[in-house]
């Protein structure tokens, strides 16, 4: 990866993937708002949770598929991997928003007593647990879908 700065195709793949992922990340909460009757705050939490779980699954899927292939940054497959993984999934998922929302829920929890703490705990650890499970499922599915080493794709 040290030579990445000398590979304009790789840099373009990351840039384009990130732009597309970020655009989709912006559109998901709008789509959730269009079909949901939830108040703003729970809807925002649900949208953040959804993009992170979907992104974890997709990144797991990509990882599982590429685990069975030889794909370095100098190959077309390598460019596709960084377009999808680093670029798209990196732009689509949002760890910063997740941490900010979780911190805010913990900060507000004393105002709501036990229910406030339960809500914060559920959001934080539920997001992490379901995200981990989604990534694991993605890796398992990707590994099954990937051609075995030495086979043609």
Is 90 assigned a ligand-binding role in the annotation? Answer: yes
For residues 71 and 88, which has the higher predicted lDDT (pLDDT)? Answer: 88
Q: What percent of the chain has pLDDT over 70?
A: 86
Specify the pTM: 0.84
Tokens of 118: 């339960």
pLDDT at 60: 95
Q: Where are the beta strands (DSSP E) in the chain?
A: none
Cα separations (Å) of 51 from 3, 39, 64, 101, 110?
Answer: 31, 18, 20, 14, 28
Output the six-digit token pair for 115. Answer: 């229910």
- Torsional class of 59: left (φ above 0), alpha (ψ -120 to 50), beta (otherwise): alpha
Domain ranges of the chain: 4-145
| CA dist., res. 127 & res. 52, Å (int) | 8
pLDDT attached to residue 93:
95
- Any known ligand binding at 93? yes
The widest CA-to-CA distance across the chain, in whole angstroms, is 60
Q: Give the pLDDT score at 108.
A: 95
**DSSP code for 4:** G
Tokens of residue 102, six digits: 């979780």
Q: What is the pLDDT of residues 104-136, one digit of tens each?
A: 999 999 999 999 999 999 999 999 999 999 999
3-state secondary structure of 94: coil
* Structure confidence by residue, pLDDT tens digits, 32-78: 888 888 888 888 999 999 999 999 999 999 999 888 665 544 455 78
pLDDT at 139 over 70: yes
């Amino acid at each position: 990866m040290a030579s990445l700065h000398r590979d304009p195709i790789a840099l373009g793949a990351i840039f384009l993937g990130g732009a597309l992922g970020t655009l989709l990340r912006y559109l998901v909460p709008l789509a959730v708002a269009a079909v949901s009757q939830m108040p703003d705050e729970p809807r925002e939490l649900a949208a953040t949770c959804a993009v992170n779980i979907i992104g974890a699954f997709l990144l797991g899927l990509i990882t599982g598929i590429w685990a069975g292939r030889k794909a370095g940054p100098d190959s077309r497959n390598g460019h596709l991997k960084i377009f999808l993984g680093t670029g798209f999934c990196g732009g689509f998922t949002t760890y910063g928003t997740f941490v900010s929302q979780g911190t805010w829920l913990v900060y507000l929890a004393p105002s709501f007593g036990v229910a406030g703490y339960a809500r914060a705990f559920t959001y934080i650890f539920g997001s992490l647990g379901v995200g981990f499970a989604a990534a694991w499922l993605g890796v398992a599915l990707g590994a099954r879908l990937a051609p075995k080493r030495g086979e043609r794709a």
